[in-house]
Structure 1
Amino acid sequence: MVSIQNLHKKFGKNPVLSGVDLSIKEGGIFAVLGPNGSGKTTLIKSILGMVIPNKGTISVYGQNIKNNSDYRYNIDYLPQIANFPSNLKVKELIKMIKDLRGKTSDDEHLIELFKLNPFLDKKLGTLSGGTKQKVNLVLTFMFNSPLIILDEPTSGLDPISLIRLKDLIQVEKAKGKTILITSHIMSFVEEVSDEVVFLLEGKIYFKGCISELKIKTNQPDFEHAIASILTENHA
């Protein structure tokens, strides 16, 4: 599904990714973890073609993504911060995205799921952060793509919307989709992910399931296992 080989990226003199090798198989939920500045968002944006690496290759669906943008039509992406035009109404934005992508979508079900009907005629600039995130989620999930990339999807969500998001992720996984997530919320990651990748200073420190990480770090739970990695590498 996604294959990354010897990926390097610098911003100025600052190395952000330093020789990342990563293979993500088709189907399942993969969480990319790491402290701020570890390269998570740069890695995701490299897969999306939004960041051009200095070195290395990325293949999606067996195709090298260099000089090729068609593969993006098979990816749904939720950015960490959605910069919507503040003067547009919610329903206008949804229609605009549907017109741009030109694929069938499931927006009505998602609008109902996240209880957005009362907000459809409101301008995006008037919405709270949590409501904007629900709009963001509708725009991401309303197209039936095999690869879904979610950058901090829980941001600003109330507890009920968080439960709905978890259920939605499991429904998409059951369809055989591949879901790539970054999150700082360890309980969310532990609940939904099949496999985790831990990035530290631009390199992959660990890839595997959470139970393997606990064994590797000799810790009783996931949060302590993560803390152990960070303490060990910043001692």
Structure 2
Amino acid sequence: MIRAEAISKSFGKLNVLRNVSVRLDAGRVVAVIGPNGSGKTTFIKTLLGMVVPDSGTVLFDNQLIEKQHTYRSQIGYMPQIGHYPANLKIRQLFEMMVDVRKNAATQLDEDLVEAFHLKGLFEKPLGTLSGGTKQKVSAALAFLFNPSVLILDEPTAGLDPLSSEILKEKIQKEHQNGKLILITSHVMSDLDELATDVLYLQDGSVQFYKTITELKLETGENKLGRVVAQLMSQPRKSHQNIKTLEFSSLQI
């Protein structure tokens, strides 16, 4: 569904992404993880078209995303921190987004609007909301247009335990519906529950991209946090598997 080929990006002398090539398929939940400064955010923003790579290409459903934006209507994006106009009411934000993306879906997915009881808060200005409530708004907007791809940046951060479970159940439901879901998170227990694959970035390079099942068999560990700790304590080497390596043979 999404293919990145030899993506590189620098900001001044800082090399943020280095020759990143991956294929992200429908029906998978990919955990994009790595230490701070590893290039995760830049990689995500490159897929969204918010960052233009210095070299390499990104394809969405086999179409180059360069200089076109229509593919974004098929992506639901939940940022780590949602920045909204303080005086805008929740209702106005949803109405504005529906108006902007009126052709994105014939039927809105309001599961999270209902589960988070947001309609009872619709007349509240966004500037008065707690961080957790803003997270609920961001999550509800990401799923609202029933997109085929979901990109969720630290989705459970700031949520209370009940809301976190509601969101995770929704993610699992959309996975079962065959969607591609990318999640960045520092909460390994959440990723253990949700992810099918792990894409690990470090210093802007892919260190490994494998299924969680493969990683657990390879390391003998049954928790993702311990899997990652064991692999990254080994001398630096390429852990990339067939999903990354065979990409170079694909024809655009």
TM-score, scaled to structure 1: 0.94
Q: Which residue is 2:136 aligned to?
A: 134
Shift of 1:134: 0.1
SS of residue matched to 1:110: helix
For 1:175-199, what per-residue CA distance to the aligned partner results, in whole angstroms no more than 9, with x for missing partners?
Answer: 2211111111100001001111111
Partner of 1:93: 93
- 1:151 aligned to 147, 150, 153, which one? 153
* Superposition deviation, residue 139 in structure 1: 0.8
Could you say which residue in structure 1 is the equivalent of 2:29? 29
Q: Deviations over 1:87-114 (max 9, x none)?
A: 0111111111111111444354422111
Answering whether residue 40 of structure 2 is matched by residue 54 of structure 1, we say: no
Aligned partners of 2:110, 2:165: CA distance in 1, in Å?
19
Alignment equivalent of 2:216, drawn from 206, 214, 217: 214
Deviations 1:141-185 (A, max 9, x none): 110111111111111011111111111111112222111111111
Residue by residue over 1:58-116, the C-alpha shift from the partner in whole angstroms, topping out at 9 and shown as x without a partner, is 10111011112111111111112110111011111111111111144435442211122
Residue 65 of structure 2 is aligned to residue 40 of structure 1:
no
Amino acid aligned to 2:11: F
How far apart are residue 207 of structure 1 and its match? 1.1
User: Is the Cα–Cα contact under 8 Å of residues 109 and 146 in structure 2 kept in the other structure?
Assistant: no
Q: Deviation at 1:218?
A: 4.8
Q: Distance in 1 between matches of 2:173 and 2:217?
A: 30
Identity of aligned residues (%): 46
Separation of aligned partners in 1, 2:28 and 2:195: 8
Unaligned runs of 5+ in 1: none
For structure 2, the residue ranges without an aligned partner over 5 or more in a row are 237-252
1:19 aligns with 2:19: yes
Aligned pair count? Answer: 234
Structure 1 stretches (4+) deviating beyond 6 angstroms? none
The question of whether the paired residues in 1 share the 8 Å contact of 2:116 and 2:163 is answered with yes
Shift of 1:233: 5.7
